[in-house]
Amino acid sequence: MANFPSEFSTKAGKYIKKLDAITKKRIEERINKLEEDPFPQDIERVEEFKGEKVFRVRVGDQRILYIVRYNPNKLIVVDVDKRLRVYD
């Protein structure tokens, strides 16, 4: 499968920088796996976003929201946050 290098929104990048070292490492490892396979079995589509197909995966109580682009191949991390806040 093709590799999908990741790109982060400003909001997602700032949030990840503030995380504790263990959570940050878990998020980064999960994003690295998504770069190799952007459609794992535990993926869910986020219906609240219109126009773009936004997907989410869980990492503990954190959620990673992302978009997959194909030309060129790219994984865009839209948001990372706790479950209760990520959909606001």
- CATH number of 56's domain: 3.30.2310.20
In tens, the pLDDT along 30-66 reads 999 999 999 999 999 988 877 889 999 999 999 999 9
* Host domain of residue 59: 6-86
Please tell me the predicted confidence (pLDDT) of residue 47: 85
Please tell me the predicted confidence (pLDDT) of residue 50: 78
CA separation for the pair 8, 20 (Å, rounded)? 18
Domain total in the chain: 1
Q: What is the CA radius of gyration of the chain?
A: 12
Residue 1 inside a domain? The answer is: no
Residue 18 inside a domain? The answer is: yes
pLDDT value at 88 more than 70: no
The b/e string for 2-36 (b: 16+ C-beta within 10 A; e otherwise) is eebebebbeebeebbeeeeeebeeebeebbeebbe
Please tell me the predicted confidence (pLDDT) of residue 87: 64
In tens, the pLDDT along 4-19 reads 899 999 999 999 999 9
